[in-house]
Amino acid sequence: MSARVLVVEDDPDIGPSLVHALRVQGYDSALAPDAATAQRLVAEQPPDLVLLDLGLPDLDGVELCRRLRAALPSAVLVVLTARDSEIDVVIGLDAGADDYLIKPFRLTELLARLRAHLRRRPPAAGSAQVSIGHVLLDLAARRCFVDSSEVALRPKELDLLSLLMSEAGSAVSRDRLMAEVWDEHWTGSTKTLDMHVSSLRRKLHEAGEDAERIATVRGFGYRYERELSPLPR
């Protein structure tokens, strides 16, 4: 079955041609030229991935992003924007986006990102559960618990946590995180990685895990701490 992609874009020069290009690639794509149509289509036929332009005629794109995330907890939300300044808001402040593309973008780049996002990730080999500190990660069910309360993680946050926890105690390089969680041919900015790490850190911390659990390894990447230092930092 082909993946269902909803394109939310009011620009008549972009929306229809994007939908057409996606159909040519085998996606089941639909166009919503405004937020009202997007919400109706999402309710009728939930998409696997949404490409969301932030500048819409009838509703603030960030607000729509938030609503789509609430309605579609496991779909991939990719924001399209001409304004770099909006990225922190949509990804960092939990409007729920998984990724973004700055306009103008190349179709080949967009398609590469879509393939990476829609690739089904098999559960990690070996133990189906990893438990360190207060966090329990159920890899097969793709659920995360802190002190037995479930924490809602976005798909990429869960993939990131899964890789960091499976390598706990060792530093994992930014390149490897980008390659394994996003795409092996990633060429874009690694800001997406940092945004996801800070959002993951915040969610785990709010649920009761130590904020130091995911350590930044300067100039290299991140490390999931198996033991936390008893010394104050």
Q: Between residues 56 and 181, which has the closer beta carbon with respect to Ca ion?
A: 56
Report d(CA 226, CA 228) in Å as an integer.
7
Query: For 87-134, what is the HEC assignment?
Result: HHHHHHCCCCCCEEEECCCCHHHHHHHHHHHHCCCCCCCCCCEEEECC
The continuous run of DSSP H or E covering 136 comes out as strand 135-138
Beta bridge partners of 50: 6, 77
Contact 154, 206 (CB under 8 A): no
- The nearest distance, CB 118 to Ca ion, in angstroms, is 24
- The nearest distance, CB 33 to Ca ion, in angstroms, is 9
- The nearest distance, CB 102 to Ca ion, in angstroms, is 14
Number of residues that bind Ca ion (CB under 5 A): 3
Return the number of other C-beta atoms located less than 10 Å from residue 127's C-beta: 10
Residue 92 as a binder of Ca ion (CB under 5 A): the answer is no
Q: Between residues 18 and 160, which has the closer beta carbon with respect to Ca ion?
A: 18
* Stretch of residues binding Ca ion (CB under 5 A), selected from 9-17, 86-94, 166-174, 198-206: 9-17
- The nearest distance, CB 53 to Ca ion, in angstroms, is 5
3-class SS shares of the chain: helix, strand, coil, % to 5: 40, 25, 35
Residues 51-80 contacting Ca ion, CB under 5 A: 53, 55
* Stretch of residues binding Ca ion (CB under 5 A), selected from 10-18, 83-91, 129-137, 183-191: 10-18
- The nearest distance, CB 44 to Ca ion, in angstroms, is 23
Query: For 63-84, what is the HEC assignment?
Result: HHHHHHHHHCCCCEEEEEECCH
Q: Between residues 46 and 55, which has the closer beta carbon with respect to Ca ion?
A: 55
- The nearest distance, CB 60 to Ca ion, in angstroms, is 12
Name the DSSP letter for residue 7: E
Residues 10, 167, 210, 225: which binds Ca ion (CB under 5 A)? 10
By the criterion CB under 5 A, which residues form the site for Ca ion?
A: 10, 53, 55
